[in-house]
Amino acid sequence: GENVEQHPSTLSVQEGDSAVIKCTYSDSASNYFPWYKQELGKRPQLIIDIRSNVGEKKDQRIAVTLNKTAKHFSLHITETQPEDSAVYFCAASYTNAGKSTFGDGTTLTVKP
Amino acid sequence: NAGVTQTPKFQVLKTGQSMTLQCAQDMNHNSMYWYRQDPGMGLRLIYYSASEGTTDKGEVPNGYNVSRLNKREFSLRLESAAPSQTSVYFCASSDKSNQPQHFGDGTRLSIL
């Protein structure tokens, strides 16, 4: 089955700096890669996703890049703000997989 | 638009008691999922239902049963609760496995 590894497990940056979180996946059939943000005590919520037919997607300060050959994808957050502090989860799935496989999460702390 | 609704929000049980967690979605999604999240940990898949009428085991199914009652509702049952099942339980739904998952607000379950 699919295996998703996420690094780093914790990340601390200064406000205004950039943050990068990386995930690798094992199943070459995977074609959908979402990122979820979970604030403390809240539910996970989708922030951005990418499909295997594109290499990069941006939405304001966040972007995701995908390298299908190397089987890894990354979340990039620029100009970080304290409200970006949260746990971020990556995931991978494919059509008819029935489910997604999640990474173990990255706790991002943005220091004012 | 309520999205995914979980009940109850909080529950305290004694060891050996049984309980059913309820989940309903109003987005006409085909797939539904149950996860548990222990403090400081990631999301672990308990069971999922890729479509109405089907259920499959996830990563940590022992001690749980599920019922996909209809397209809207997916319940999780603890037959004989154990302290190790103390956790936050999230229900989620998506149209397909390679589509974004929408999470409920979670049920915080403590077993004494």
> What string of DSSP letters covers A50-79?
EETT-SEEEETTEEEEEETTTTEEEEEE-S
User: Pairing state of beta strands B44-49 and B102-103?
Assistant: unpaired
- Check CB contact under 8 Å for B101 and A102: no
Q: What is the DSSP letter of A61?
A: T
- Check CB contact under 8 Å for B97 and A34: no
pLDDT given at position B42: 92
Q: Which residues of A touch B103 (CB under 8 A)?
A: 43-45
Tokens of A13: 């940056």
Residues B51-91 have pLDDT tens digits of 999 999 999 999 999 999 899 999 999 999 999 999 999 99
- The rounded distance, in Å, linking the Cα atoms of B71 and B27 is 10
Residues B7-37 have pLDDT tens digits of 999 999 999 999 999 999 999 999 999 999 9
Q: Which of B45, B100, B102 sits opposite A99 (nearest CB)?
A: B45
- What chain A residue is nearest to B88 in terms of C-alpha separation? A41
